Structure 1
Amino acid sequence: MKKIISLLVLVISFSACKEAELNCCVNQIPVNITLKFTHHWNGVPVTSSDFNNFKFTTENGESVSINRLRYVLSNLKIGNQKINHHLINIGENSGMELSFNEIEKGSTYHELELYFTFGFKDEDNTDGIYQDLNSASFNVPSMLGGGYHFMQFDGKYKDTNNQDANFNYHSIRAVDRTDPDNLVFEDTSFNVNFNSFIAEKSEVTIEVKMNIAEWFKNPNTWDLNELNTVLMPNFEAQKLMRANGKSVFSLGEVSQ
């Protein structure tokens, strides 16, 4: 009799395990995820209300004010969802959030990965194909190979005479115009990957943080007195921007 009872308990336990496994794998519960893009200068929040004021200091010691800062991310992926590109404009408070709906997850939780590219990879950087970016005048001139800006970051800095001077920190695909009839390109986009965050509920908000100060300091200390304007056709400057950009983004709060 005891053997029969033990066998019955074993069968029930096995069935329960199989049912739980089936629920986990088959009964998918979708999750809606909102990306929230925030910006700071070494921990001090930056919004459009901080623009046009000399409130920040670069690693090299220049006092700067921000007049415009907008940038594009492409190939944004979370789970089984993908968005081709997304333009963020801090000055106009546009594009500060981005939604991914109906992402598949398990019955209790799922480990998800967030991936995006800063700018466009060469195969996606085709001139004139993105109407929203055309309307936003985000195009790169044909003399520089066409395609699109990755970032337009404009402002003023105090020069060595403590006078206001302009800077245009514009990031594009690097182009060598030594021979204008034979342009040489280098893909200066870069990938950002945040993995192993857990979605436990059906509504999740993920903060993606940009430290604006990093554009001027890591690994290259940027001297605005040397590199300030006409940076788009500067092949070496574009590669320096790419190197500095790799430390700009970080994963912030995941709330659910």
Structure 2
Amino acid sequence: MKKIFSLIVMLLLILNCSEDKDDNLSLVNMSNVSFSFTHDWDGTLINSSNLQTEIVTNEHGEEISMTRIRYLISRFELVNDNGDSYLFDGYKFTDLEDETTYNFTPTNNSIPIGNYTLRFIWGFNEADNVDGAYLDLNSASWNWPAMLGGGYHFLQFDGMYNVDTTAPSPFNYHNGTARVSDGVFEQNFALIQLSTPITITNNANIEVKMNISEFFKNPNTWDLNVLDTPLMPNYDAQKMMQENVLSVFSIGSITQ
């Protein structure tokens, strides 16, 4: 009887040790991720301190100054080598004048260690772009006019061009739903897929870089003398913006 009791005790100890090992292994194999966004113009850092003072030249040759850049991205997703996808809740609204908006930590941010690539939606997709649905965006005056399809802006980029002349002019590079004709609209979000591999070995912060100059040059060289304002009701301009945003983002440093 004592032998049987001893065997039972030993068996319980082994099972407990195995469970502890599995639990520890599970904890070791999971990492928390966050994202930080940096912004530049062909390598010149742009942030709240110089946004409104830096003079830059676009691909078409116009010298421009910037007064406001705000943008929206959503549906952050990390995809591993096996094709398994980890979708994070929430969306990110960034205002370059407010550096507290440069960072994004999803509420559900725990993933297994491994190799990943990042993808996200520029703006909102059709399911998320619901008119008036987000109180914080409403209070930021981020709504896209109902007569142009409703929902929300994806980008507000404002400034002046030809600032090296005696007759500078304003531009309003605003992006959102594309209006085809009266009452006919076309979704205009973009899927941003960044192919740079991201190796996660511990809790990690992923830097995502925005090269602002790309809005004006790839694949469409933007002539502000022709396309300055108003661009929101201009279908062709909206589709050109959708094409140009595909080259704006890249992966920077991974801190862990």
Partner secondary structure for residue 239 of structure 2: helix
- In 2, Cα distance between equivalents of 1:112 and 1:249: 16
1:76-87 alignment, distance < 5 Å: 76-78=76-78, 80-87=86-93
Please say if 1:200 is aligned against 2:204: no
Aligned-partner residue type, residue 178 of structure 2: A
Instruction: Report if the CA contact (8 A) 2:150-2:177 is conserved.
Output: no
Partner secondary structure for residue 127 of structure 2: helix
Instruction: Report if the CA contact (8 A) 1:81-1:103 is conserved.
Output: no
Please say if 1:90 is aligned against 2:102: no
* Aligned structure 1 segments of 4 or more residues deviating by more than 3 angstroms: 22-26, 78-81, 159-162
**Uncovered stretches (5+) of structure 1, i.e. residues with no partner:** 1-18
Partner secondary structure for residue 124 of structure 1: coil
**Uncovered stretches (5+) of structure 2, i.e. residues with no partner:** 1-17, 79-84
Instruction: Report if the CA contact (8 A) 2:148-2:185 is conserved.
Output: no
Partner secondary structure for residue 122 of structure 1: coil
Report the equivalent of 2:153.
Answer: 149
Report the equivalent of 1:99.
Answer: 105
Please say if 1:173 is aligned against 2:177: yes
Report the equivalent of 2:225.
Answer: 225
Report the equivalent of 2:138.
Answer: 134
Partner secondary structure for residue 246 of structure 1: helix
Report the equivalent of 1:158.
Answer: 162
Instruction: Report if the CA contact (8 A) 1:37-1:207 is conserved.
Output: yes
Partner secondary structure for residue 159 of structure 2: strand
Give the one of 113, 119, 123 matched to 1:115.
Answer: 119
Report the equivalent of 2:12.
Answer: none
1:19-38 alignment, distance < 5 Å: 27-28=26-27, 29-38=29-38
Give 1:110 deviation, angstroms: 1.7
- In 2, Cα distance between equivalents of 1:149 and 1:187: 12
Give 1:161 deviation, angstroms: 5.2
CA RMSD of aligned residues (A): 2.3
Greater Cα shift, 27-36 or 52-61: 27-36
Instruction: Report if the CA contact (8 A) 1:30-1:102 is conserved.
Output: no
List per-residue Cα deviations over 1:32-59 (Å, max 9, x = no partner): 2120100010111111211222510000
- In 2, Cα distance between equivalents of 1:233 and 1:25: 56
Give 1:104 deviation, angstroms: 2.9
Aligned-partner residue type, residue 255 of structure 1: T
- In 2, Cα distance between equivalents of 1:103 and 1:239: 36
Structure 2 length normalisation: TM-score? 0.82
Aligned-partner residue type, residue 63 of structure 2: S
Q: Count residues in correspondence.
A: 228
List per-residue Cα deviations over 1:51-105 (Å, max 9, x = no partner): 2225100001111111000100011224635123110111122320111455131
Report the equivalent of 2:236.
Answer: 236
Partner secondary structure for residue 247 of structure 2: coil
Give 1:251 deviation, angstroms: 0.6
Report the equivalent of 1:15.
Answer: none
Structure 1 length normalisation: TM-score? 0.82
- In 2, Cα distance between equivalents of 1:138 and 1:213: 23
List per-residue Cα deviations over 1:180-210 (Å, max 9, x = no partner): 3xx2222221112235411111x21111000
Greater Cα shift, 128-137 or 76-85: 76-85
Give 1:226 deviation, angstroms: 0.5
